[in-house]
Amino acid sequence: MGSVPVGAGPEGAPETLEKDPETPPPGLSGGAPSGTGGAGGREGAVRDGGGAGEGGVPGRGPSAGKGRIPGDWLYLGFTHAPLAALGPGLRVGVWTRGCGLGCPGCVAPELRTARPEDAVAATELAAWAAGTARERGLRGLTVSGGEPFHRPEALKAFLELCRAGGLDDVLVYSGRRASELVVSFPWVPDLVTALVDGPFELGRPSSRPWKGSEGQTLTVFGKGELARLYAAWEASDERPLQMVAFPDGAVRILGIPKIGAYDSIFGARDGPVPGGG
């Protein structure tokens, strides 16, 4: 895996783009370069396409949009493993579909819409995530979107199964506030190790590599070793990014690049430039 420096991070720390040659299971994105970090970022000119990737992919929409989607089904955007860009260590990454927040400058506007054909059972997605983690020696799971709490009961079922399968470090990126989430969904502190919360605010860029705008915060529910792990991650100035080629020919940047980083990766582009958040 090669790396390309794409600028200096905070206090001169390098921002490094890893070229990931692996085919991610299951992939879903369009044919344009796209930035996909946590909740928030610069708005991207991203086309969205269909088709699942490889590697034990859970089935999508068994009814293909016929009838009501069961409550324990998530709308899946795409996945990638190993993910090195969002959270401490190497992880399994899952991006959900569906978000009604409408933040200007959203990193992944193509994931705002929840499509019936992208529905996947929490049991199948969790089996893939836990199985992939075991096969590759990964401990962590990162869930972003879209808005993961767009279907909260499905998210709960998915996280319960992932934890039962051995994934004991769960990081969730949400555009909603932690104070609201823990009241609406009391299970959050038990199933989520750490939460990056708050909407992306286009006019308040952050220098911290784990968030897109200054108003977003990190809440750590984990204790002991996990609390120490996230304290170190929060304080770190490293800004890892991954360039991933998906099976349908799409290229995504996973992570949270600084504003302007895309010009150094893809060259100057007309129209909105996708970025991480």
Q: What percent of the chain stands above pLDDT 90?
A: 46
pLDDT band for position 41 (cuts 50, 70, 90):
very low
Residue 276 within a domain: no
How many residues appear in the chain? 277
Residue 1 within a domain: no
Residue 271 within a domain: no
Residue 264 within a domain: no
- pLDDT at position 89 over 60: yes
pLDDT band for position 244 (cuts 50, 70, 90):
confident
pLDDT band for position 110 (cuts 50, 70, 90):
confident
Q: Specify the higher pLDDT residue, 223 or 54.
A: 223
- pLDDT at position 142 over 90: yes
H or E, element range at 191: helix 188-191
In angstroms, the CA 75 to CA 107 distance is 18
Q: Take residue 4 and report the two structure tokens written for it.
A: 């390309």
Question: Strand order of the sheet with strand 239-245?
Answer: 3-8, 14-20, 239-245, 251-254, 34-36
Residue 11 within a domain: no
Residue 235 within a domain: yes
Q: Specify the higher pLDDT residue, 243 or 25.
A: 243
The number of distinct structural domains making up the chain is: 1
Q: What is the pTM of this model?
A: 0.76
How much is the pLDDT for 59?
A: 54
In angstroms, the CA 235 to CA 51 distance is 38
H or E, element range at 161: helix 152-164
Residue 275 within a domain: no
Task: Supply the DSSP string of 80-115, one letter for each residue.
Answer: EEEE-SSSSSSEEEEEE-------TT-S-GGGSS--
Residue 59 within a domain: yes
- pLDDT at position 246 over 90: no
32: containing domain: 17-259
- pLDDT at position 95 over 90: yes
How much is the pLDDT for 48?
A: 30
pLDDT in tens, 196-243: 999 887 888 888 999 988 889 999 999 999 999 999 999 999 888 888
pLDDT band for position 67 (cuts 50, 70, 90):
low
Phi-psi region for residue 165, left (φ > 0), alpha (ψ -120 to 50) or beta?
Answer: alpha
pLDDT-wise least confident of 21-25, 82-86, 206-210: 21-25
